[in-house]
Chain A
Amino acid sequence: MADFSLWDILRNLLLALRWTVVLSLIAFIGGGIVGALLLFLRLRGGKAIGKVVGLYVQLFQGTPLLMQLFLAYFGIALFGIDVSAWTAASVALTLYTSAFLTEIWRGCVASIPKGQWEASGSLALSFGEQLRHVILPQAVKIAIAPTVGFLVQVIKGTALASVIGFVELTKAGSMISNATFKPFVVFSCVALLYFVLCFPVSLYAKNLERKSHGRRA
Chain B
Amino acid sequence: MAAVLEPQQQPATSVGSPIVRITALRKSYGTNEVLKGIDLDVKRGEVIAIIGKSGSGKSTLLRCINGLEVFQEGSLTVDGKPLLHESAMAMRELRQRVGMIFQSFNLFPHLTVGRNVMLAPTLVKKRSSLEAASQARKLLARVGLAEKFDAMPDQLSGGQQQRVAIARALAMEPAVLLCDEITSALDPELVGEVLRVVESLADEGMTLLMVTHEMSFARKVSDRVIFMHQGRVHEMGPPAELFGNPQTAELKQFLSSLHD
* A complexed with B: yes
Show the binding face of A for B, using Cβ within 8 Å. 113, 115-116, 118-127, 129, 133-134, 137-138, 141
Which residue of A is nearest B171, CB measured?
A: A123
Q: How far is the CA of A122 from the CA of B107 in the complex (A)?
A: 12
Known: A133-B119, A133-B123. Contact between A122 and B104, CB under 8 A? no
Which residue of B is nearest A127, CB measured?
A: B88
B95:A122 contact, CB within 8 angstroms: yes
Question: Number of residues in B with C-beta < 8 Å to the partner?
Answer: 26
Q: How far is the CA of A81 from the CA of B230 in the complex (A)?
A: 65
Known: A118-B68, A118-B102, A121-B68. Contact between A126 and B108, CB under 8 A? no
Q: How far is the CA of A125 from the CA of B122 in the complex (A)?
A: 10
Secondary structure type dominating chain A contacts: helix
Q: Chain A residues with Cβ under 8 A from B110's Cβ?
A: 137-138, 141
Q: Chain B residues with Cβ under 8 A from A120's Cβ?
A: 108, 119-120
A119:B102 contact, CB within 8 angstroms: yes
Q: Chain B residues with Cβ under 8 A from A127's Cβ?
A: 88
Additional 6 contacts, C-beta under 8 A, given A119-B107, A134-B108, A141-B110: A118-B68, A119-B108, A123-B169, A123-B172, A124-B93, A124-B124
A122:B66 contact, CB within 8 angstroms: yes
Number of A-B contacts (CB under 8 A): 63
Interface presence of B112 (CB below 8 A): no
Closest 8 CB pairs of A and B: A119-B106, A123-B120, A115-B106, A124-B95, A122-B100, A124-B96, A124-B124, A137-B110
Q: Chain A residues with Cβ under 8 A from B66's Cβ?
A: 122
Which residue of B is nearest A118, CB measured?
A: B68
A138:B124 contact, CB within 8 angstroms: no
Interface presence of B127 (CB below 8 A): no
Interface presence of B52 (CB below 8 A): no
Which residue of A is nearest B121, CB measured?
A: A123
- Smallest CB separation, A173 vs chain B (Å): 46
Which residue of B is nearest A116, CB measured?
A: B106
Instruction: Find residues 124-182 in chain B having any chain A CB closer than 8 Å to their own CB.
Output: 124, 165, 168-169, 172
- Smallest CB separation, B91 vs chain A (Å): 8
B109:A118 contact, CB within 8 angstroms: no
Interface presence of B57 (CB below 8 A): no
A129:B106 contact, CB within 8 angstroms: no
B108:A116 contact, CB within 8 angstroms: yes
A116, A122, A138: the one contacting B99 at CB < 8 Å is A122
Provide the B52-95 mask, 1 if CB < 8 A to any CB of A, else 0.
00000000000000111000000000000000000010001101
Q: How far is the CA of A122 from the CA of B102 in the complex (A)?
A: 10
A115, A116, A129: the one contacting B123 at CB < 8 Å is A129
Q: Chain A residues with Cβ under 8 A from B95's Cβ?
A: 121-124
Q: Chain B residues with Cβ under 8 A from A126's Cβ?
A: 88, 92
Q: Chain B residues with Cβ under 8 A from A141's Cβ?
A: 110
